[in-house]
């Protein structure tokens, strides 16, 4: 009987199939709330109301860097976000003391807003032999040679995105660099998605639900009426989205 038991256990262990584990990265939305939370949630509600489905099925990370709150406040914030169908996959920048069981996990190592380190200004005499600058990799880009239909997302955090066609209402294009649309932009276009204030948006016909550059967004009703239906260039200046017609 004992021998039969160990024979069965050995068979179970040797017959067990291996578990395949793979690494995969996703572009998450980073939410950086500020106090008071009631005001911030009201602004979030305004964004969600004017851009339906913005958070639907999208991974969201809560950035609490330099935010002085306690655990009850954090629990209440997470609960309020859950009521709005915003599921938090992780929390970054939080003090360990305010995290607890049942909360999203703490995250570290997210790609920072800027991957370029700015050296401190030299105050002493320059060295006899100047340091050689490291070569930067060429900016990557992709070209989509078909329209982006409603419900579809084009996400390319590595560089520029060019769409040869239109972007339908309910569709979105998210680029780490600039967005070029050789057609009508009726959905959402987000440039500089991982921190690039110099990114721009170009489209042949502006009818967008939302445009964003480096996290600064503008809704359709906030855009100048004379730009609707026009070929437009958009860029960021002093934390505000600027726009002008393309000639």
Say if pTM beats, i.e. exceeds, 0.85.
no
Q: Are residues 165 and 241 in the same domain?
A: yes
Q: Is 42 contained in some domain?
A: yes
Q: Given this model, what pLDDT does residue 50 score?
A: 66
Peptide bond into 36 cis (omega under 30): yes
The answer to whether position 20 is within a domain reads: no
Q: Check residue 228 and give its pLDDT.
A: 92
The answer to whether position 195 is within a domain reads: yes
Query: Is 7 contained in some domain?
Result: no
Domain tally, the chain? 2
The closest alpha carbon to 168, from 197, 195, 188, 154, belongs to 188
> pLDDT truncated to tens, each residue of the chain (247 aa)?
555 555 555 555 555 556 665 555 566 777 888 888 999 998 888 877 766 566 666 778 888 888 888 888 998 998 888 888 888 888 888 888 888 888 888 876 555 433 323 333 344 444 444 444 444 444 588 899 999 998 888 888 888 999 999 999 988 898 889 999 999 999 999 998 878 889 999 999 999 988 999 888 888 888 888 999 999 999 998 888 999 998 7
Residue 103 and residue 155 in one domain: no
Structural domain of residue 75, as residue ranges? 29-107
Q: Are residues 239 and 147 in the same domain?
A: yes
- Please tell me the predicted confidence (pLDDT) of residue 205: 93
The predicted structure's pLDDT at residue 134: 43
54 in a structural domain? yes
Question: Is residue 140 helix, strand or coil?
Answer: strand
The answer to whether residues 168 and 103 belong to one domain is no
Residues 94 and 165 in one domain: no
**Could you tell me if residue 147 is inside a domain?**
yes
Q: Write the DSSP string, 68-89.
A: ---HHHHHHHHHHHHHTT--EE
Q: How many CB atoms lie within 10 A of CB 209?
A: 22
**Residue 55 belongs to domain with CATH number:** 3.30.70
Question: Which CATH number does the domain housing residue 152 bear?
Answer: 2.160.20.70
Q: Output the pLDDT for position 118.
A: 33
> For position 168, what pLDDT does the model report?
93
């Amino acid at each position: 009987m004992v021998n039969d038991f160990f024979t069965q256990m050995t068979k179970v262990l040797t017959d067990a199939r291996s578990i395949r584990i793979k690494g995969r990265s996703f572009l998450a939305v980073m939410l950086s709330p500020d106090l008071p939370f009631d005001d911030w949630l009201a602004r979030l509600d305004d964004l969600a109301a004017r851009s339906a489905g913005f958070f639907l099925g999208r991974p969201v990370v809560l950035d609490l860097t330099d935010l002085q709150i306690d655990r009850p406040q954090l629990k209440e914030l997470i609960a309020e976000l859950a009521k709005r169908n915003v599921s938090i996959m992780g929390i970054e920048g939080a003090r360990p003391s305010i995290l607890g069981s049942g909360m999203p996990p703490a995250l570290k190592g997210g790609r920072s807003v800027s991957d370029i380190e700015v050296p401190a200004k030299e105050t002493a005499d320059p060295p006899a032999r100047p340091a050689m600058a490291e070569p930067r990799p060429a900016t990557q880009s992709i070209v989509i040679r078909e329209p982006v239909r409603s419900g579809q997302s084009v996400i390319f955090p590595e560089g520029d995105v060019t769409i040869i066609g239109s972007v339908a209402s309910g569709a979105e294009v998210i680029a780490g660099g600039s967005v070029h649309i050789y057609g009508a932009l009726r959905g959402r276009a987000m440039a500089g998605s991982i921190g690039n204030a110099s990114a721009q948006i170009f489209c042949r016909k502006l009818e967008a639900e939302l445009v964003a550059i480096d996290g600064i967004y503008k809704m359709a009703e906030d855009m100048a009426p004379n730009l609707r239906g026009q070929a437009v260039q958009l860029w960021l200046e002093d934390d505000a989205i600027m726009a002008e017609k393309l000639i």
